[in-house]
Structure 1
Amino acid sequence: MKKLYQSKKQKKYTQKRIRKQKRLNKNRKPYDLNRRPRTTIYNNNVIEYIDRPPINAPSNLCLMKKTEDCIDFFKKLRRENNISKEGKRCFVGISLSDVTEIDYSTTCVLLAIIGDLKSKGIHIRGNFPKDEKCKKDIIDSGLLNSMYDSSGNPYEKSIRSELLFIEKGTKKLTKHDNIRISNTVSKVNEHLTGQRKHCKKLRTILLEICGNSIEWGGTKNRQWLLGIKYEDDRVIFTITDVGKGIIKSLNRKFKAKFKDFFQGKSDDEILKGAFIKKYGSSSQKENRNKGLPAIKNGFDIGLLKNLKVLTNQVILHYDDDTLSKVMNGGKEFQGTLYRWVVTAESLNKG
């Protein structure tokens, strides 16, 4: 609704401010990743500007192929000693110039990390890859949906990707979240089959895994990210949480009993167990902790394809178990990522 000015003086003052802001936006210079550290004097106080060098991303940023290289990059983004400062403003600089390949899983993890850092008052500044195809993949993934260019204008939203943030610790999914998930399932069906209809099994899986967030409401990270990428003959689903991860969360839940409870089991065996049976529920409700078994069941019946799970030191490739492994040498993903594919053929099995 248009504001009604109380006086000509107020209207004149407001229009003057608008003109001034337009001049500032027009003259704003693009961010230079290689600028030098400097200091300035404000109210007789010397304010130091800390400019850390940007973090260079590896050329291959495909999380499912180059898992350990991507994990190293994610860890650098979240390290305190990589934070730059402009007075009271904190940010982390990244350089994607040399990236030639990136997958949807990586962009969703980056979005989740960006959201987590933003909640702590830390922003991300960076550039595009020189490779045009890779640049297009990033735009299509929706990574820029909530970002602004060097002129302060929002990027155009991608129509090939849909991103839904689910609040953790709310004890239940809101009515709005339920509606969004239902509409997303209908849209996926329409994209693959041409008919806008529900897929009850797929909707149940998404509701269960998103509802599972009430189990970990006490963690510092407050959101799960549900990402949907629409491709020609398939749809990619990712669910990303950059909190503690499943194995560490189980350790925290059982505390002293953890070693006895899982005695003699490796991390990958513990994780596989979480997908086929209950380890207990903090809410003590029957319908809780079904999220992980629901995903495994969806894969078993053929609704979900190419199922992959990454958490802590473990990555599971349910489509090819020979690729599953436990990473050593301090390689650890801080959080949990689920990734699967749905096709028109698999929807018939839901």
Structure 2
Amino acid sequence: MKKLSPKQKKYLLKRGRRELRNKKRIRKTRSLRQSTSGLIPQNHSFSFLDLRTPSKFKLEYEYSEDVIGYINKIKALGRSGQHMNIIMDDIVEIGEGAISMLLSVMEELVRAGIVFTGTKPKDKTCKAILEKSGFFKFVNGKVDESNSNSKNTILNTGDNNTPQSELAFEIAKSMETIWEQKGRSPSVYSCVFEMMRNSCDHAFKKDNQIRWHFALSHSDTDNTVKFSFVDNGKGIIKTFTEGILKNFVNLFQDNVDIIETAFKNGIDSRTGLSWRGKGLPTIFDNYSDNHIKNLVVISNNVYIDFDRSIRYKLKNAFSGTYYYWKVDQTCVKECFPIKK
């Protein structure tokens, strides 16, 4: 064997050290576990509780109790300091509204130091809906290349100063899906603005607690956009009963009556107060005028689906407010040129 020169020995020694360092890096990478808030070393001291997501993870009336009960369980465990593993393996139906509600709760708890890990649905259609929804803009996780190019998105904020241009841009883009041309929709914009204002002005005790999520899901095949808006504030009922309605609760049959009156007629119709009720009639007017359709509202222990005439007192109350609606070509066309 040919004797190595000092230069060759030095080179091989350096190469050996470099390869050893690379092996250590590989081992280190493999020992990390993906989470919503970053990478967790394998030798961490966290204790994760497995939580199986309901197989029908959507907020239609028939499944709402199970989903809200699941959301409430996440809130309660998180507030007790428990880290969680969100298992979505068994999901066979999934809705964008439920995704937004889950995301809003997870983000609130992550800010408080809770760590989440999780799995995706095994069902390919459900997995695609989740990956295309915008969920992974906020949660660490890989998205299949086929699902990465999506018009769907979720906007969120921590204050009352979200640029109006951002909202306007996404709404204009939704008009392109529905009417095949970008344009302004004052009705849709006014709905979102009222929801955003209610969240920022009334739903939270402190400004630094304010969080809302606004999701848009596009379907080019049937020219439809589904919208959802959710916050984890105190909810419409608590806002009213702890404030303006504190001395007028006896004028209403129950919480369902309070919310339905607030939307349809305004609180002044029952109380005589010169105050219409935090913009809720504006949202209902746009629904009544057929600018939006399939309006659903969940707040505290009330579930209302205006299209299906469902007015229901939930057993599992949701601390916050959730809105869902759709716009398609059966709605009144409202697509004005964008001002430059």
The bucket for the TM-score relative to the shorter chain is: 0.7 to 0.9
Letter in 1 for 2:99: T
Distance 1:82 1:207 in 2: 30
TM-score with structure 1 setting the length: 0.75
Q: Higher relative CO (CA 8 A, sep ≥ 6), structure 1 or 2? A: 2
Which of 260, 264, 269 is equivalent to 2:257?
269
Matched, 1:74 2:71: yes
Answer whether contact 1:83 1:91 (CA < 8 A) is retained.
no
Distance 2:216 2:143 in 1: 21
1:203-222 equivalent positions in 2, closer than 5 A: 203-216=189-202, 217-219=204-206, 221-222=209-210
In the other structure, the counterpart of 1:239 is 229
Shift, 1:191, TM fit: 1.5
Shift, 1:166, TM fit: 3.1
In the other structure, the counterpart of 1:142 is 134
Structure 1 287/197 Cα, relative in aligned 2: closer, same or farther at 3 Å?
Answer: farther
Matched, 1:63 2:29: no
In the other structure, the counterpart of 2:14 is none
For structure 1, the 5+ residue unaligned runs are 1-17, 33-39, 41-46, 85-89, 281-285
- Where 2:264 maps in the other structure, the secondary structure is coil
Answer whether contact 2:262 2:277 (CA < 8 A) is retained.
no
Q: Provide the aligned length of Structure 1 versus Structure 2.
A: 299
Instruction: String of CA shifts for 1:150-200, please: whole Å, max 9, x gaps.
Output: xxx7887552311111334x4xx45xx210111112111112222122122
Structure 1 154/290 Cα, relative in aligned 2: closer, same or farther at 3 Å?
Answer: same
In the other structure, the counterpart of 2:29 is 26
Structure 1 223/31 Cα, relative in aligned 2: closer, same or farther at 3 Å?
Answer: closer
Shift, 1:308, TM fit: 0.4
RMSD: 3.3
Answer whether contact 2:256 2:313 (CA < 8 A) is retained.
yes
In the other structure, the counterpart of 2:150 is 159
* Matched-pair identity in %: 23
Letter in 1 for 2:157: I
Which of 244, 248, 260 is equivalent to 2:238?
248
In the other structure, the counterpart of 1:298 is 286
Letter in 2 for 1:324: R
Answer whether contact 1:212 1:289 (CA < 8 A) is retained.
no
Runs of 4+ in 1 over 4 A off after TM superposition: 18-25, 29-32, 81-84, 153-158, 277-280, 286-290
In the other structure, the counterpart of 1:325 is 312
Shift, 1:20, TM fit: 9.8
Instruction: String of CA shifts for 1:253-288, please: whole Å, max 9, x gaps.
Output: 24xx625344342111101122135559xxxxx999
- Where 1:182 maps in the other structure, the secondary structure is helix
Matched, 1:337 2:322: yes
In the other structure, the counterpart of 2:8 is none
1:159-198 equivalent positions in 2, closer than 5 A: 159-168=150-159, 170=160, 173-174=161-162, 177-198=163-184
Structure 1 292/166 Cα, relative in aligned 2: closer, same or farther at 3 Å?
Answer: farther
- Where 2:246 maps in the other structure, the secondary structure is helix
Instruction: String of CA shifts for 1:113-155, please: whole Å, max 9, x gaps.
Output: 1111122121321111222221112112222222223xxx788
Distance 1:310 1:19 in 2: 53
Answer whether contact 1:94 1:125 (CA < 8 A) is retained.
yes
Distance 1:120 1:97 in 2: 26
Letter in 2 for 1:167: G
Instruction: String of CA shifts for 1:34-67, please: whole Å, max 9, x gaps.
Output: xxxxxx8xxxxxx9x3524301112111221301
Distance 2:144 2:276 in 1: 39
Letter in 2 for 1:249: T
Distance 2:116 2:102 in 1: 10
For structure 2, the 5+ residue unaligned runs are 1-20, 36-42, 269-273, 336-340
Answer whether contact 2:184 2:334 (CA < 8 A) is retained.
no
Letter in 2 for 1:179: S
- Where 2:137 maps in the other structure, the secondary structure is coil
Letter in 1 for 2:187: K
Structure 1 24/276 Cα, relative in aligned 2: closer, same or farther at 3 Å?
Answer: farther
In the other structure, the counterpart of 2:13 is none
Larger Rg: 2
- Where 1:265 maps in the other structure, the secondary structure is coil
Matched, 1:53 2:49: yes
Distance 2:301 2:85 in 1: 26
Structure 1 27/248 Cα, relative in aligned 2: closer, same or farther at 3 Å?
Answer: same
- Where 2:166 maps in the other structure, the secondary structure is helix
Shift, 1:213, TM fit: 2.8
TM-score with structure 2 setting the length: 0.77
